[in-house]
């Protein structure tokens, strides 16, 4: 919720809306423990932060339509999570008149007749009053009843024309969009080039740079194609929530006027690319992929994958270091990664994509983004949407999300992201587990910049649960991450991590509540889920100090266990 702005936040889609394919008919079946430990936590975090409303989804959840599911809406969301706001439907999501009785408080957009006075007349006593109170209190808390910034627009009036036609763009908003896009860019790879005696990135002023591929100069969605509500581009998602800009900055435009000697071939023409590469000191090769509401991506490939592979081969034969810039809506496959000298990934970064990419490529902004997903080695390793059937059983259970790839080699792991400098990790202070305490354990680490340039680090804390109970899944789980300020060479920053009872709990399906697990826990601090730097353990009140992990950089837990017999996995 944006305090003071008259804006109330809505979180969606509740719940198990994990695919767009057959989204109105698919029935997602998930066991109770997996639901609470894997799929509910993002919503529970939003509830804890005071979100005003929750939007229920089109799909079915464990046999009942999500907007007519009393178990998920009333029992789980309102009673067990303690949600005090209101539940609104996705547009025309109801399949019958049972939504209000199940826990939905608002029918959107309200034209299907399910929430008329007659339809709501048979609700249990107090339910209608509860619906009204939830909506009105949520609007009041969000500032909807205060004088509006737009004259003539207030609660109870039709503000659509005023809101949709207002120009909210300002220099401050553009600068914020650029900063957010740059700080979220993820440096996947950056290889040392022997000829120059340094990594290929950041680029240097005066370099001759070949800019290759249509994605480097891609334009945003415009009319007439914008008339298709699902139309998307490499900057924004398609669908009802898209925001189309008339001022999209491409990668080529972002690099222009920045002190580089640019030679561009903005097509997938191999002869043209070969010609431009002849005089280049370094190459930028772009690829992109789109996604939209109402259907899933056909594959995880970049649209220009074949061109990227061929262009990298050309650059390699000519001895030209090549950087792949990927503009993607989510996880992608990277069969070109081994031949790329460097790779930069931006997730649908909006109108300032090109400027943000240039800022990172030139080192004006140091890369600090981290992967919120895993990039698999091959598409077959991922779990595809359920297609051709209405029943979708989540057989992977707690092995969903980035844990799909546990035990498998991956292209780039969850949490991965490089900087233009190097960091080391050291423990400053740690405390053993305290019985009945909150937090149950704390530790302070110091991250120090040991490189030669400024940089930002994002240390991540993972916990591995004990094998004390058969119901406990032993996967390593993310339990916190923090971001450092911009650190100069030699400068350090201290981070305090705390483990609360919830962090060391599992969902008890017998008592339908969280239960703190007893036994030996392992704690890991690192730069990604497979780059663990500090390791420790504690058990029933007794702790052992954190120490450097017995692993090579980016090694797996299996390798870690093999080297450290006293630290069993």
Q: Cis peptide before 565, with omega less than 30 degrees from 0?
A: no
549-555 mean pLDDT: 50
With H, G, I as helix, E, B as strand and everything else as coil, classify residue 439: coil
DSSP H or E stretch at residue 306: helix 305-318
**Tens digit of each residue's pLDDT (9 = 90 or more) over 262-291:** 999 999 999 999 999 999 999 999 999 999
3-state SS record for 84-111: CCEEEECCCCCCCCCHHHHCCCECCCCC
Q: Which carries the bigger pLDDT value, residue 550 or residue 137?
A: 137
Cα(437)–Cα(86) distance, rounded to whole angstroms?
34
* pLDDT (0 to 100) of residue 521: 87
**Among 393-402, 459-468, 531-540, the least confident range:** 531-540
**Structural domains of the chain sorted by starting position, each given as residue range(s) with its CATH number in brackets:** 10-160 (3.20.20.300), 178-387+407-412 (3.40.50.1700), 423-563 (2.60.40.10)
Confidence of residue 547 (pLDDT cuts 50, 70, 90): confident
* pLDDT (0 to 100) of residue 442: 85
Q: Is 104 exposed, middle or buried (0-12, 13-18, 19+ CB in 10 A)?
A: buried
**Cα angle: 407, vertex 535, 405; to 5 degrees:** 15
| 65 and 87 Cβ atoms separated by less than 8 Å | no
Q: Is 477 exposed, middle or buried (0-12, 13-18, 19+ CB in 10 A)?
A: middle
Confidence of residue 559 (pLDDT cuts 50, 70, 90): very low
Query: Would residue 90 show up in a list of annotated catalytic residues for this protein?
Result: yes
**Tens digit of each residue's pLDDT (9 = 90 or more) over 517-531:** 888 888 999 999 999
Catalytic residue among 27, 90, 105, 233: 90
**Could you tell me what percent of the chain has a pLDDT over 70?**
89
Closest residue by Cα to residue 374 from 399, 394, 404: 404
Closest residue by Cα to residue 385 from 41, 90, 17: 17
Q: How would you classify the pairing of strands 186-190 and 342-347?
A: antiparallel
Q: Is the pLDDT of residue 509 over 80?
A: yes
Query: Residue 381 — φ and ψ, nearest 5°?
Result: -80, -20
Confidence of residue 149 (pLDDT cuts 50, 70, 90): low
**Among 154-163, 196-205, 479-488, 534-543, the least confident range:** 154-163
* pLDDT (0 to 100) of residue 169: 85
What pTM did the predictor assign?
A: 0.92
**Tens digit of each residue's pLDDT (9 = 90 or more) over 492-504:** 999 999 999 999 9
Confidence of residue 566 (pLDDT cuts 50, 70, 90): very low
Q: Is the pLDDT of residue 48 over 80?
A: yes
Confidence of residue 431 (pLDDT cuts 50, 70, 90): low
């Amino acid at each position: 919720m944006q305090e003071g702005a008259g804006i109330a936040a809505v979180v969606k889609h509740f719940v198990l809306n994990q695919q767009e394919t057959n989204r109105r008919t698919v029935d997602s079946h998930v066991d109770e423990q997996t639901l609470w430990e894997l799929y509910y936590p993002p919503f529970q975090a939003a509830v804890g932060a005071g979100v005003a409303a929750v939007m229920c989804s089109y799909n079915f959840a464990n046999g009942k339509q999500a907007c007519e599911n009393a178990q998920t809406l009333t029992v789980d969301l309102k009673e067990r999570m303690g949600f005090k706001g209101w539940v609104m439907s996705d547009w025309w999501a109801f399949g019958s008149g049972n939504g209000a009785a199940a826990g939905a408080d608002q029918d959107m957009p309200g034209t299907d007749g399910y929430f008329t006075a007659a339809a709501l007349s048979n609700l249990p006593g107090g339910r209608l009053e509860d619906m009204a109170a939830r909506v009105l209190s949520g609007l009041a808390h969000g500032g909807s009843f205060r004088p509006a910034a737009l004259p003539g627009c207030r609660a109870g009036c039709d503000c659509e024309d005023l809101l949709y036609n207002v120009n909210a763009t300002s220099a401050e908003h553009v600068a914020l969009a650029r900063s957010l896009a740059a700080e979220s860019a993820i440096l996947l790879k950056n290889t040392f080039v022997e000829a120059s005696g340094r990594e290929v990135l950041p680029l240097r002023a005066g370099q001759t740079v070949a800019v290759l591929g249509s994605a480097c100069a891609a334009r945003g969605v415009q009319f007439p194609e914008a008339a298709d509500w699902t139309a998307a581009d490499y900057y924004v998602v398609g669908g009802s929530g898209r925001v189309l800009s008339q001022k999209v900055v491409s990668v080529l435009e972002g690099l222009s006027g920045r002190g580089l000697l640019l030679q561009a071939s903005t097509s997938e023409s191999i002869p043209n690319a070969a010609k431009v590469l002849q005089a280049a000191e370094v190459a930028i090769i772009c690829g992109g992929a789109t996604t939209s509401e109402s259907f899933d991506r056909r594959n995880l490939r970049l649209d220009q994958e074949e061109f990227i592979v061929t262009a990298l081969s050309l650059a390699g034969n000519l001895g030209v270091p090549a950087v792949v810039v990927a503009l993607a809506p989510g996880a992608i496959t990277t069969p070109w990664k081994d031949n790329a000298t460097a790779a930069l990934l931006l997730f649908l970064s909006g109108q300032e994509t090109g400027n943000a990419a240039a800022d990172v490529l030139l080192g004006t902004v140091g890369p600090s983004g981290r992967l919120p997903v895993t990039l698999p080695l091959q598409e077959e390793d991922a779990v595809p949407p359920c297609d051709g059937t209405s029943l979708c059983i989540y057989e992977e259970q707690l092995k969903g999300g980035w844990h799909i790839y546990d035990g498998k080699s991956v292209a780039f792991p969850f949490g991965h992201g490089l900087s233009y400098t190097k960091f080391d990790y050291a423990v400053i202070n740690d405390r053993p587990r305290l019985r009945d305490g909150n937090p149950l354990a704390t530790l302070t680490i110091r991250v120090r910049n040991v490189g030669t340039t400024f940089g930002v680090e994002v240390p991540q804390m993972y916990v591995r649960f004990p094998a004390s109970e058969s119901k406990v899944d032993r996967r390593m789980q993310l339990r916190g991450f923090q971001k450092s300020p911009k650190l100069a060479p030699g400068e350090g920053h201290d981070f305090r991590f705390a483990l609360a009872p919830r962090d060391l709990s599992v969902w008890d399906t017998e008592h339908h509540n969280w239960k703190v697990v007893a036994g030996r826990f392992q704690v890991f601090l690192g730069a990604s889920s497979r780059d663990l730097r500090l390791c420790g353990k504690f058990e029933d009140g007794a702790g052992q100090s954190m120490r450097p992990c017995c692993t090579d950089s980016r090694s797996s837990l299996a390798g870690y266990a093999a080297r450290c017999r006293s630290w069993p996995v």
